A and B are shown apart, each in its own frame.
Chain A
Amino acid sequence: MAPKILIIEDDVETAEEIGELLLASGFAPRQSFDGREGLQLALEEEFDAITLDRMLPSCDGLEVVRRLREAGRHTPVLMVSALGDVDDRVSGLRAGGDDYMIKPFAPAELVARLEVMLRRKSHGEPQLVLKVGDLELDLVSREALRSGRRIELLPREFKLLDYMMRNAGQVLSRRMIFEAVWEYYFDPGTNVIEVHVARLRKKIDIPGEAPLIHTQRGSGYVIDAA
């Protein structure tokens, strides 16, 4: 069944845009143009995730997510805001948001972030070994193995592979990678992340093996066995 997503967004045009995008990406979207009404909906019905505008007329986005959490609901919330400062991001996440995205955004990135959130939600048990195809990453011994071949990873490469494998099959933008692996929130030069991924790829995908790390033109990278 398609995951149900609640879009709380006061700007009708943006809400429609997100709605169409999610519908096209195989989600079941539902819109609400008002904070209070959105909160009501989120409390009454079960959604798989919520995209929440930070600035809403009747009830502020921070307030919505805070009240939702107070009511004991753990629906993942992706906050969408024109406020992009680190402080705004921190206050958004502290109020109970699961991820934070700055307007304007690339449609593919919104979908990617939602999928990452849904995946995180479905993983109940903490995993000890991540697997993609014949690649294994042991989170305890911090070792990577591909078809039994041991791969030496630098600490940062380990973190990068960890993040990509947890979100296998999911296109990850450079910015998402930079935020998740380096935990910085500015725009790094285009090539910086590219080169880090390329290096990791060189270690993972040696000639003769089916490539696991793929470049998605214009949007980012994905690790996938297919």
Chain B
Amino acid sequence: MQLSQLWRTTTARLTVLYSLVFALGVVALLGMVYLQSTVYLTRRVDGILRVEANALAASPPAELPRLIDDALALNGAQINIYGLFSSDGRPLAGNLRALPPRLQPGGPPVETPPSRSFPANARLIALALPSGRTLVVGRDVNQLREMRSIIASALAWTGPSILLIGLGLGVAFSIAPLRRLRLMQAAARDIAAGDLKRRMPISQNRDELDMFASTVNYMMGEVERLMTEVKSASDTIAHDLRTPLTRARAQLHRLQQTRAGQDEDIDRIIGEIDSVLARFRALLRISELEARERRAGFTTVDLSEIARQAVDLYLPLAETEGVQLRLRPTRPVQIEADPKLLFEAVSNLLDNAIKFTAHRPVPQEPAPQAKVEVSLVLEGQVPQIVVRDNGPGIPERERSAVLQRFYRAEDKRLIAGSGLGLSIVAAIMRLHRFTLEFHDAEPGLKAVIVCHPPHEGSAEGFPKT
């Protein structure tokens, strides 16, 4: 892992940004403390000096040298400064040998560096006495200066060190997410290399990376499902198309051998090839439907009219097949849909129902009257088109498989059909965001088209994290 990569993680950037803000805050706080404390302490010293100087100035002039000596003896010559100077600047008493040049009698306090007469930094004020002499009172301010420099150096150090710590923490904090990202990248590489079963790792944190990973995993599930469908579709295409083509070839071969124009043989060959072509047409139809823009043919549709027309189309076929087909009368139900496609879907369901109810794979004794019924129900506010038969039904484990392309239950292979009808229905359902459900009609199958209103189920299927 390179530092530059670590730095690019959001965690690192946020940590450093936060520590920068924190450092600025601390520096501002310390700065305030520095300013306030130095100003306060300096004022206090100046106040003491002024009180002392005024007290000394108020004493009789003749006693002043003695008072200064007493004060020096009492307070110590190392901490305090007292000085009395004649009007021409000569020292008369105290521990200051000369008047500092900047010090003005009656002027503001002045700070002096260490000198021969006083070995430390001192703060001095001067007062002009009525006798023309000058009184100087001062104090050692080394303590004050030291405090100032302590605060100043704290000020200088804390900012950068907080920043440094933040930088370190940022790097440390981003190692874990970056490592997880690495695992995800590895998973993505595996997926890209063709391992569609691979999924993104998800931790216990349920953080944003996990949310993202689970969305990607959901997507991969769909991709895998589609890929499996495509693969099984091409397998079945190969299998399903080989049979009629092989038969057609055998018949052609026989014709070639006999050289006699046998109409029946030719008819059969045409029939076989027609069934192959029908399958290709259905496949093309499915991809057409899947590539279609969703609402292109949408309009307000009366479901009862569609059901009526579909029954009208299939009634003769049902009668020929000995199936009792009936439409349960309903009131008109208006929805938004593509009428042609919805009709195609209902037709396909009816075609299947009639086909499978009429040709029972296992003849029952005595055979009950084969029945198919189309009805329209409102489940809550959601309209449903129900095609119900009393045929063999679909076992529960096969119900999702029948929607895949070319799927036909093994025992139903004998019945003519492309095996693509339900895939066409499924494609039409997807286009409408409707759902197709299969239920047990006891006995038989109940196929239900659930016409969800447009606003429902828009984010359907996405995982909730």
Contact = CB atoms under 8 A, between A and B. Distances in A.
Interface string A61-98: 00000000000000000000000111100000000000
A186 B271 CA distance: 19
B447 to A, nearest CB: 16
Size category, A interface: 20 to 34
B267 A218 contact: yes
Interface stretch (A7-15, A17-25, A32-40, A187-195): A187-195
Interface in B343-360: 343-344, 347, 351, 355
B314 A218 contact: no
A29 to B, nearest CB: 25
A217 B313 CA distance: 23
Interface string A128-168: 00000000000000000000000000001000000000000
A156 B312 contact: yes
B322 to A, nearest CB: 12
A199 interface: yes
A192 B312 CA distance: 11
Contact of B416 (A104, A188, A190, A195): A190
Contacts of A191: 317, 320
A196 interface: yes
A18 B382 CA distance: 51
Contact of A84 (B278, B288, B343): B288
B316 A218 contact: no
Contacts of A182: 313
A87 B317 contact: no
A195 B320 contact: yes
B340 A86 contact: yes
B270 interface: yes
Nearest to A182: B313
Contacts of B313: 182, 188, 192
Contacts of A218: 267, 270-271, 274
Contact of B347 (A185, A188, A195): A188
Nearest to A217: B267
A210 interface: no
A187 B418 CA distance: 11
B296 interface: yes
B223 interface: no
A186 B316 contact: no
Interface in B264-295: 267, 270-271, 274, 277-278, 281-282, 284-285, 288, 292
A87 B296 contact: yes
Nearest to B293: A87
A192 B351 contact: yes
A15 B263 CA distance: 29
A187 B281 CA distance: 8
B106 interface: no
B329 interface: no
B297 interface: yes
A189 B270 contact: no
A85 B288 contact: yes
A223 B314 CA distance: 23
Contacts of B288: 84-85
Nearest to A156: B312
Interface in B27-82: none
A216 to B, nearest CB: 11
A196 B316 contact: yes
A180 interface: no
A191 to B, nearest CB: 6
Interface string B410-428: 0000001100000010000
Contacts of A192: 313-314, 316-317, 351
A217 B297 CA distance: 36
Contacts of A84: 284-285, 288
Contacts of B355: 189
Given A86-B340, A187-B278, A187-B281, A195 B297 contact: no
Contacts of B347: 186, 188-189
Given A84-B288, A156-B312, A195-B316, A189 B343 contact: no
A86 to B, nearest CB: 6
Nearest to B288: A85
A189 B351 contact: yes
B211 to A, nearest CB: 39
Contacts of B281: 187
Given A84-B284, A84-B288, A184-B344, A189 B317 contact: yes
B343 A184 contact: yes
Interface string B302-316: 000000000011101
A195 B274 contact: no
A177 B202 CA distance: 58
B56 to A, nearest CB: 110
A85 B320 contact: no
Contacts of B320: 191, 195, 198
Contacts of B270: 217-218
A189 B347 CA distance: 9
A87 B297 contact: yes
Contacts of B263: 217
A104 B312 CA distance: 30
The 7 A-B residue pairs with the shortest CB-CB distance in the complex, in nearest-first order: A195-B316, A218-B270, A195-B317, A189-B351, A186-B344, A195-B320, A199-B316
Interface of B: 263, 267, 270-271, 274, 277-278, 281-282, 284-285, 288, 292, 296-297, 312-314, 316-317, 320, 340, 343-344, 347, 351, 355, 416-417, 424
Interface of A: 84-87, 104, 156, 182, 184-192, 195-196, 198-199, 217-218
Given A86-B340, A184-B340, A190-B416, 17 more contacts: A84-B284, A87-B296, A156-B312, A182-B313, A184-B343, A185-B340, A186-B285, A186-B347, A188-B313, A188-B351, A189-B417, A192-B313, A192-B314, A192-B317, A192-B351, A195-B317, A198-B316
26 contacts: A84-B285, A84-B288, A86-B297, A87-B296, A156-B312, A182-B313, A184-B340, A184-B343, A185-B340, A186-B285, A187-B285, A188-B313, A189-B317, A189-B347, A189-B351, A192-B314, A192-B316, A192-B351, A195-B320, A198-B316, A198-B320, A217-B263, A217-B267, A218-B267, A218-B271, A218-B274
